[in-house]
Structure 1
Amino acid sequence: MKTVGGADEQKNSGLTELRHVSRKAHEAVDEAFSRFELADPQSYGDFLTAHARVLGAAEAYLSRHAVSLPVWRPRAELLKDDLRQMGLPVPAVHAECLPERDGTAMGVLYVLEGSRLGGRVLSGCVAEGLPRAYLLAFHRKGEWPAFLEKLGQYLDESDAVRRQAVTEGAVATFALFRKSAERQG
């Protein structure tokens, strides 16, 4: 399967391994969220609510580890604003279940930054007139390849324990999103 950033994968064996190991978790998230019909206001609201339960906690985790991460732009406030515009409550976030290990935050960030790519695709499925600031928070020009380069370098320069922490962070974050989608609606 050819993925975005294919050239980076050839240079960065750590990135290739991360994608390989986290693929099933990623596919499970895609499947869990595929049941939401974004053109239907209620279903779209459920979709946003499921995201909001996890995104706030994940971004809070990243904020505590910001010194060790590449620059990133949070989106939780955009998501909250979308929910409010739809007249929906902002849900309580999941209690954090992410380990405090060196490298975990890079795995969490990998999932959140990757979800911007999905947002680009999904934003076109949202019914006209519904708020979509969260989904429209695309990468700026060059951000995704730059992030992949930094992540790949981090993985390739890390020991096995740190690489494992990155993978566990990604898989745990995918699992939080999957569980939230399954719980919603």
Structure 2
Amino acid sequence: MREDDPLTALRNVSRTIHEQVDQAYSGFTLSDATSYGAFLQAHGRVLPQVERWLKGAPDLPHWQERTVYLQRDLTELGHALPEQLDWQPPSGAGATLGALYVLEGSRLGGKMLSAQVGEGLPRTYLSAGHEKGGWPAFLQILRDRLGNADRIYRQSVMDGVSSTFDLFRRAAVRG
């Protein structure tokens, strides 16, 4: 990947907030039913509202919602979807694409985390990976759009990334 690749630039700029999110979620033990339930509830404070926002967005690449899977796993653990955190989505033209980047990356990470889920615990949400070739295809669309965009659009994508990562971080620390 070239240094001037816009996707590399996006990853570099978002690295700190991404690391903060990873740190916030590192305290959950997915093999323990109580901790895993808290992990899913943290996601439940974020995912439904971000997905609702994305449903109304024009011109997004194909994606599949996961709220129903999250709700199913929470129900199986005896929990309802928790109250959503207060959040004001960014308004720029590329903000939804940035938020989708975070959700699709979460989907990829969830697939890897599903192996840590304790025996007998539901893992439908974390196991809901991409269709074959879905992640590279999404990244190519993102790279193309960023590469053909002006500075204002690129910043709005970054605003969507930062805002969504921060929402996930706040949900984890609220625990």
Q: Please give the TM-score of this superposition, normalised by the length of structure 2.
A: 0.97
Q: What is the aligned partner in structure 1 of residue 23 from structure 2?
A: 31
- Change over 3 Å in CA distance of 1:31–1:95 after alignment to 2: same
Quote the Cα distance in structure 2 between the aligned partners of 1:81 and 1:100: 31
Q: 5 Å matches for 1:28-107?
A: 28-65=20-57, 67-107=58-98
Q: What is the aligned partner in structure 2 of residue 175 from structure 1?
A: 166
Quote the Cα distance in structure 2 between the aligned partners of 1:148 and 1:136: 20
Quote the Cα distance in structure 2 between the aligned partners of 1:180 and 1:156: 32
% identity of equivalent residues: 48
- Change over 3 Å in CA distance of 1:164–1:44 after alignment to 2: same
- Change over 3 Å in CA distance of 1:12–1:106 after alignment to 2: farther
Cα offset, 1:12, TM superposition: 7.0
* 8 Å Cα contact 2:21/2:165 also seen in 1: yes
Once the two structures are superposed, what CA deviation does each residue of 1:3-22 show, in whole Å capped at 9, x if it has no partner? xxxxxx43971111100000
Cα offset, 1:137, TM superposition: 0.4
Q: What is the aligned partner in structure 2 of residue 157 from structure 1?
A: 148
Structure 1: 5+ residue stretches without partners:
1-8
Quote the Cα distance in structure 1 between the aligned partners of 2:55 and 2:48: 10
* 8 Å Cα contact 2:71/2:81 also seen in 1: yes
Q: What is the aligned partner in structure 2 of residue 19 from structure 1?
A: 11
* 8 Å Cα contact 2:90/2:163 also seen in 1: no
Secondary structure class of the residue paired with 1:97: coil
Quote the Cα distance in structure 2 between the aligned partners of 1:138 and 1:32: 22
Quote the Cα distance in structure 2 between the aligned partners of 1:153 and 1:12: 13
- After the TM superposition, which parts of structure 1 deviate over 4 Å for at least 4 consecutive aligned residues? none
Quote the Cα distance in structure 2 between the aligned partners of 1:62 and 1:96: 14
Quote the Cα distance in structure 2 between the aligned partners of 1:133 and 1:10: 36
Residues paired across the two proteins, number: 175
Q: Please give the TM-score of this superposition, normalised by the length of structure 1.
A: 0.92
Cα offset, 1:90, TM superposition: 1.2
